[in-house]
Amino acid sequence: MIVKEKEPEKSCDIVNEMKLSKRLQSVAEYIPPGALVADIGSDHAYLPCYAVLNHLASRAIAGEITDGPFLSAKQQVEKLDLSTLISVRKGDGLSVLEKGEAGAITIAGMGGALIAHILESGKTKLTGRERLILQPNIHAVHIREWLYQEGYELLDEVILEEDGKCYEILVAETGDRDAPYRDVPMAAGMLAGPFLLKERNEVFLRKWSQELKHTEQIYEQISRSAKHENHEKLAELKERISLLKEVIGHA
């Protein structure tokens, strides 16, 4: 587990103005001190602005693929007089970067499959020296699988709740990909996160208990129909239920 940067004490007005969410503040805390951070899918560039204004990053890049968010990001950066420190770029995923340009890359607020796709599509821009700080809205398992496949070591994970929704943050650098999984079952660790699985905090247990209940309900509904073609689906659901029970910590 890595030590996060302390949250700045002076930034209340800035946070309120930019409406920076709790989850994005948590993402920013993992930026290595003084790094150039590239925020992919930056929307209004709130995260890069927050990081630079509070000296969590020396400079930043805000990448966006669509016109609306790209223009919003430029306006936000200009409004805060940060154009010399934050470069707003239009392009798809990591294509906005030069190889090795960023010391940290943040991708937040997307599905896990999309984040994994962005990393895979842009991996020629990665040197292996960057810190990846990733915040999927759902399906973080796809990111863990990609990180493991590409030889990245998970350094820390966070699960938090905001506005009734659960969010995970994954922090990784090139290293020993097996290290975080040595003391946990691999399938459960991939699904729910090795650090989160060990901690099993209240948000974690609530999230996966709800997932278990939902999966059991689907199993019951399908089992009542008793159609021959449902056998394979029922077997898959039964395996999923067993894994979810392992995640939660009861048999």
pLDDT tens for the chain, residues 1 to 251? 665 655 444 444 554 556 689 999 999 999 999 999 999 999 899 999 999 999 999 999 999 999 999 999 999 999 999 999 999 999 999 999 999 999 999 999 999 999 999 999 999 999 999 999 999 999 999 999 999 999 999 999 999 999 999 999 999 999 999 999 999 999 999 999 999 999 999 999 999 999 999 999 999 998 887 666 678 889 999 999 999 999 998 54
Alpha-carbon distances, residue 47 vs 19, 58, 156, 176 (angstroms): 10, 13, 20, 29
CA distance 35 to 58: 6
Decide if 50 contacts 76 (C-beta within 8 A): no
Amino acid present at 79: K
Helix (H, G, I), strand (E, B) or coil at 113: helix
pLDDT for 225: 79
CA distance 132 to 177: 14
- Which residues 6+ apart lie within 8 Å of 50 measured at CB? 11, 14, 15, 18, 20, 24, 25, 28, 56
**227 C-beta neighbours (distance < 10 Å), count:** 11
pLDDT for 9: 46
- Which residues 6+ apart lie within 8 Å of 19 measured at CB? 46
Helix (H, G, I), strand (E, B) or coil at 61: strand
